[in-house]
Structure 1
Amino acid sequence: MKHTPVNPALSRHEIISRLGKAVHPSPPDLNKYDQTAVMALFLFNQALPKLLFIQKADVAGYPWRNQMAFPGGHVDETDDSPLETALRELEEELGIVPENVEVIGSMGHFQTINHKDIHAFTGIWNQQGPIRFDPVEIRRVFQIPVPHLADLHREKKYLGQTPPILDLTYPFQDVVIWGVTAKILHHMLDTLMDH
């Protein structure tokens, strides 16, 4: 499959620069939402940059059963900041320690229909050490090429548009990224791509 460039030179430097300079969604009234944080991790082990996603476990009764997501979870009282939450959850869920992550920064706030505010962060994993996860919580881990996601973003005419949440989907192999994870991804791709 031939990929449409996300940008003519989507280098590590350009990703950091574009995400750092962009205007990201502001926080809502945090007293009205449960606070959570996620980490969208880039990998640069080959020519194409990739993003790391998890697929939640296939457990009956689990509210996030089989959903695609960025690693993350609830902000604990012991966490000093939402960024600390995102890094802690990354280590707990995948065994990726904070010292192996170059944090790019905040990508803003995204709300779910069940009153959760997700503070999304981006970072780059140096890929030191293996990924380790508990199959009770996580079914699979995906490394999805960013150009594949950008192609979908352009083909579905999402670029510069905000489609209704139920129409916002990014399929990959036998899974689909949807819901608030798709909303975060949409904002990221709109930030990285040339309009």
Structure 2
Amino acid sequence: MDKNKCISIIRSAVQNGSHPGPPDDGLFQSTSVIALFVFNKEIELVFIQKADVKGYPWANQMAFPGGHKDKKDLSTKDTALRELTEEMGINRENVEVLGSLGHFQTINSKDIEAWIGIWNQKEAINYDRSEISRVFQIPLKYLIDLHKEKEFHRQAPNVMHLTYPYEDVLIWGVTAKILYHLIDVLLKGG
């Protein structure tokens, strides 16, 4: 499929999909992430594996780049793009943000607004090794096929079963919830 047609389908699915809204103010700490699409031989999504730091609650977990909203951030979109630059060395000018996938809460009172973007790959990833141990570009087709194989498209699984294994890692927790929702809106959007 043509790259421009793929981008159009992704944009339409994200902008026209029904997404979870924000929680009540004051109950959750505002954070955001950005799920980046890249176009190589096939469409891929960029994931990070958090660094193995003793005492770090997210050590070794798979995630999308992102973090906590700072006072200087104008919006959660701004947070996601700032964190992307800080964590991975990807400049915001090289990312086309398509829209928000909505809000996802964690068990430790974080509200994560998930943004969707397309990275033009005009620079190399230069990730912060104190925060990230590895970067993965996982084919979207693989993730969608796994989603269907596990029959997630028929009925939403409970959080304990919502996992996406890839090579020697496992996408689970809130990252899996965001990925599930992304694949769901893509499948519904064509």
TM-score tier, shorter chain, comes to over 0.9
Unaligned segments of structure 1, at least 5 residues: none
- Matched residue type, 1:142: F
Q: Do the aligned partners of 1:30 and 1:117 also contact (CA within 8 Å) in 2? A: no
Please report the TM-score for the alignment, with normalisation by the length of structure 2.
0.95
Deviant stretches of 4+, over 2 Å: none
Say if 1:31 and 1:160 are closer, same or farther in 2 by CA, change over 3 A. Answer: farther
Please report the TM-score for the alignment, with normalisation by the length of structure 1.
0.92
Q: Do the aligned partners of 1:160 and 1:190 also contact (CA within 8 Å) in 2? A: no
Distance 2:155 2:102 in 1: 18
Unaligned segments of structure 2, at least 5 residues: none
Counterpart among 26, 29, 36 of residue 34 in structure 1:
29
What residue number does 1:98 align with? 92
- Matched residue type, 2:29: D
- Matched residue type, 1:61: G
Q: Please state if 1:137 is matched with 2:164.
A: no
Q: Please state if 1:77 is matched with 2:71.
A: yes
What residue number does 1:167 align with? 161
The percent identity for this pair of structures is: 58
Tell me the SS of whatever aligns to 1:107: strand
Tell me the SS of whatever aligns to 1:78: coil
Tell me the matched-pair count. Answer: 187
What residue number does 2:81 align with? 87
1:119-154 C-alpha deviation (Å, 9 max, x unpaired): 000000000111001212100000000000001100
Distance 1:116 1:30 in 2: 12
Tell me the C-alpha RMSD between the 2 structures: 1.6
Distance 2:52 2:140 in 1: 26
Shift of 1:188: 0.3
1:83-110 C-alpha deviation (Å, 9 max, x unpaired): 0000000000000011000010111000
- Matched residue type, 2:14: L
Shift of 1:30: 2.6
